Structure 1
């Protein structure tokens, strides 16, 4: 039902998305007690904001505010025919098209041919109501003919809200930040190649970066599982143990095991803050042996225990 209250909540969501589009990761949307599409979207945007901010902190940049300028935040609202109805300013800047060109265009006209099948399959699932919320990777094409790889979160509204039948696509991949890290690594490799007499050698090639990143994504997707030996993991991703160790230090600024613990604690922090799951259940979900072990590691990382975080959230 399109009530005044729902309109007010949607306005809050819109304002938060505008803040995100400007690189402001400090604000959040006030939660309500309702259980509907709007509240699900509110929770998603809050969690996404937390994830993006944690990603910046995770990279360990000293100049935190300068790293904001590298955030790419595209927001597209599609109508019931999956044509572009509204966009944010950064979408226009990122893709290079004029506003008038984008409005009422089918969304798939912005995609590179490598992503058309992925989008078509996703669109069919949305139409058939097999899902109404999904995350996928899509490659956009810019006006200049360049690829713009992104991770997209897609929500298709099916309940009786003012958004019924419409779709919101939000991209929050930190493309320029990742490119900056990889370019720095590339320069280190090139500098080494120009000075072959140095005793310290690095054998990383640009092709190794994709393998190491894939290993990192695998770890983040299997936080509840025990980490295999580094030798086995290296073989799985087509590299060797030395390159795996070296690559994680170069790309993520930490060892494989430090990366695993960091990602476990990042995910746990979000679950503690936004759910009522028991700490024992959360510990199991993110791969800690016990609730007490989880609580100790959590305090070491954040300076307070999970119970303190949840109590503070309850008092908001």
Structure 2
């Protein structure tokens, strides 16, 4: 029975991908109670469709004919050199074909956006991702465009797909204001998400940290957004923050309690004492055995417990 149900879910995924390829981003796959990789794919596809719908809404004016929307494609190789594009990209940026072909991607992107792309693919992201990318035209004017960025399997090329209006009133103050408001709203949502992750980590220092994939699924986002968002707000990685906080907790417990070092290591999420000891020494420069226990605090705690 499960095989038949899974087959129906796979058909739904195929249909959704076909709809998205046709430009329909309104379809959603109903989520199930299953806890498997297929359900993870369903969540990610629904998320991509929602973000594509939001990003394209910047370009669509319901009072105009859709023919003003120009689908644009850009392909770069594994070394970030431009290998292919359509004519719309040339019109958009003002370059000729000779001026762009085989040129580094840095020619048409700001350094920050190029670094953003490189970070994305160094993290081995497996699904298309929506990014706001700063393009630079031939006149050296920057333009922010929401792009669907993914890897062309089984090859290593990276493909950018996005939509741009052909009409000249694309870059008008009203558009910029709307885009700015959406960016502020997006940043607020990201801040709320990262705050939830921060609170979750602090509340679960006694347990091993789940993988980034599981954390992303738990908080309804993708791995890239979770990692980049956390680093943006806390200037460190998720795992480093988790490790620092549990070691700080361990240090406090060693100083102020009579619990054995082995028990403390378990209480801060380490599966073995040897791993705890190595991590503690690497972080503080000395082993847990070398921490001086605060006898006054321990005595006071013991007296208070005796009084009870």
TM-score with structure 1 setting the length: 0.39
TM-score with structure 2 setting the length: 0.39
Structure with higher Rg: it is 2
